[in-house]
Amino acid sequence: MLDVVIIGSGPAGLSAAIYAKRANLDAVVLEKEYLGTGQIAYSSRVDNYPGLPGKDGYSLGEAFLEHAEGLGVTIEEAEVTAIAKKEKSFVISCEDGKTIEAKTVVYAAGCQNRRLGVPGEEKLLAKGVSFCAVCDGAFYKGKKAAVIGGGDTALDDALYLSDICEQVYLIHRRAEFRGAEKTKKKLEELSNVTILTNTRVQEITGEDKVDGIILD
């Protein structure tokens, strides 16, 4: 029986693994993607990690991975399908049929951003396609930006970007927004925010970076 099974090898999972190893615990990291380091790998530039400003996300993730492996952390490629609680332990089941028993489970599998599913989206990830205005907004300072969605996150991101971008387009496929009416009214009062409803993105264009979007 292991002391710890850590699910996910992003920054959180690798940090947990490093602490476990330093505490002399018998631990393993399970990651479904081969040598994956989480969503940070899709960031073209990371400016908010202390001591390493301006480093690209892929390189930063690789540095985390090298740190963990340098300490002897065991990382296995496996997709977890179930976690069962026993009296004093957990049984982790993997897609390949393997099971692992451990005293503790650290669930650091992260999340997956909702995609539009349009041409150009995957190709231009971290090249102008972003999922976090607060994280990446500074890269678009003084530029034109488009926010796609109609919930609170979309409205809040559009409002945040309006302070740093030349022009912000808020694009929603429906006529009404699900987000807070108060935020929507603030956006309607801003001269550099254009709201487009009943509009869908058909394609994100560009080669090495986003240069436009095609709407229906």
Per the residue annotation, which of 26, 56, 96, 135 is the catalytic one? Answer: 135
Q: What is the pTM of this model?
A: 0.67
Per the residue annotation, which of 26, 96, 132, 208 is the catalytic one? Answer: 132
Tell me the β-bridge partners of 169. Answer: 146, 194
Express each pLDDT in 148-184 by its tens digit: 999 999 999 999 999 999 999 999 999 999 999 999 9
Express each pLDDT in 64-109 by its tens digit: 999 999 999 999 999 999 999 999 999 999 999 999 999 999 999 9
- Tokens 């509009």 belong to which residue? 199
String of DSSP letters for 69-132: HHTT-EEEE--EEEEEE-SS-EEEEETTS-EEEEEEEEE-----PPP---TTTTTTBTTTB-S-
Q: Which domains does the chain have, with CATH numbers?
A: 2-107 (3.50.50.60), 133-215 (3.50.50.60)
- Catalytic annotation on 136? yes
- Catalytic annotation on 132? yes
Structure tokens given for 95: 């897609």
Per the residue annotation, which of 94, 96, 136, 156 is the catalytic one? Answer: 136
Q: Return all residues near 123 (Cβ < 8 A) that are at least 6 apart.
A: none
